[in-house]
Every structure is written in C-alpha cells, then in structure tokens.
Amino acid sequence: MDLFDLSHTLTRPLWERVSWPWEVLALLPAFVLDLGPRLGPDFEQIVPGVWVGRGTVIDPLAAPRGPAIVGRDCSLRPGAYLRASVLVGDGCELGNSSEFKNCILFDGCQVPHFSYIGDSVLGWRVHFGAGATASNFKAGGGEVSVEWEGRRVPTGLNKLGVLAGDGADVGSQAVLNPGTILGRGCVVYPLVSLRGTVPANTIVKSADRVTWVAKTARPDP
C-alpha cells in the first residue's frame, strides 16, 4: 500500500529502517533529538529540544514542547500544543487549541482548529477540518491492529492513531478510530466515525453507515 511521497518529509531515513509504517513512530523521539542540532542555518533552537524553521510564526499562546522539529513557513496558532516527539514539515498549519503527540506531519499539512493528532502520520497536504480527531487509544485498552492489504495485522502497540495518505481530507468533527488507514486522496465527510482502511481516491460519505464511492472530482496532489 503506497501512502506517502517521502520527498516531502525529513523522516525519510526512518522509513528505510522499518517493515511497517507505524514502526517509525517508536523511532521518532531519538531521531528528532539527533537531527535537530544538524539542521543548519534555516533552523533555530527556540527552547531545549525544539527546532523551528525560518519563516515559521508561533503565536505567544502556542506551546511547543520537545523533542520537536517544526519546518519552514509554518503557522502555530493560539493554543497549538506540541506534546513530545513531533516532526512537522514545511508550510504546515497547526491550529487553534489543537494537540499533537508522537506524530509526523509531512509538508503542507493543515490541522487548523480544535483537533487531536496522537501517534499518527499525516502525509503530504493532508487536511483535517475543525474538530476532527485521530484517536489513538481503544476503549478498554488493548493492542491496536490494522487492515493491511486485505489482512488483519497486529501492531504490538496499544496506542496508534491514523496513517493518512497524501492528500487525504478529513471533514469537521470526524473521528478516525485507532488504527485507521486513509489511502491517498480520499475524503472523509464531516461527523463520520471511521475505523478500518479506506482505499485511495474514495469518499466516505455517511455518518451512520460507511459507504465507498469512486472518487474522480479531486485528483491526488
């Protein structure tokens, strides 16, 4: 399953070390701390363990905590909270009262309002509408498994959010349950509660019944 264009993230070396995409998340904290001091003149360490790229604007009420890297020309709006082990690409929006924990955002991601992104990977130009959530913990706990190329795969993790392929678009107040995978260019309508794997270039339309519809109106980025 081809989810990500790795030319749009600093994490490319991590993907060469893993067999499954969710395995990069366990490697992320050490990777950020190792990479940060070597990023060069386009990046500045603003507090211990947090490096920020040139052109990025951080509102005084945002709260970036390390280890974290935020790319160039990003916007951290009021209340944006980076809570440990976050790597954000260039040109991203991290929005009002949104929280990010142990996650990778590729270049051009937009999470502008009231979202939670936990233990997740958002590909190039992924967009989350207001209040959309990548839930990372099952009700009652237990190991998270995923649907991968037609089979159920155990992850060995009790916290795993979403793998959102390049160009995926998640509507306002949608909930992506633990272990959800969104194919490239898919669309999830507002208010949908979703679990499982969504094929590339499809639409999830219903809040009470998931349906798959061939998608032609909005091509992959």
Position 220 in a domain: no
- Cβ-contact 63, 43 below 8 angstroms: no
Position 190 in a domain: yes
pTM comes to 0.93
Give the number of other Cβ atoms within 10 Å of residue 63's Cβ: 15
Instruction: Tell me the two tokens of residue 92.
Output: 């991203």
Position 189 in a domain: yes
Domain that holds residue 178: 6-214
Q: Which of 126, 108, 213, 205 is nearest to 162 (CA)?
A: 126
Give me the pLDDT at residue 217, please.
43
- Cβ-contact 89, 72 below 8 angstroms: no
HSE-up of 53 (CA within 13 Å, CB side)?
Answer: 17
Position 1 in a domain: no
Q: What is the pLDDT of residues 56-69, one digit of tens each?
A: 999 999 999 989 99
Position 182 in a domain: yes
Position 81 in a domain: yes
Give me the pLDDT at residue 211, please.
63
Give me the pLDDT at residue 150, please.
86
Give me the pLDDT at residue 219, please.
40
- Cβ-contact 98, 114 below 8 angstroms: yes
Structural domain count of the chain: 1
Position 219 in a domain: no
| CATH code for the domain in which residue 90 is found | 2.160.10.10
Give me the pLDDT at residue 141, please.
87
| Intervals of the chain under pLDDT 70 | 207-221
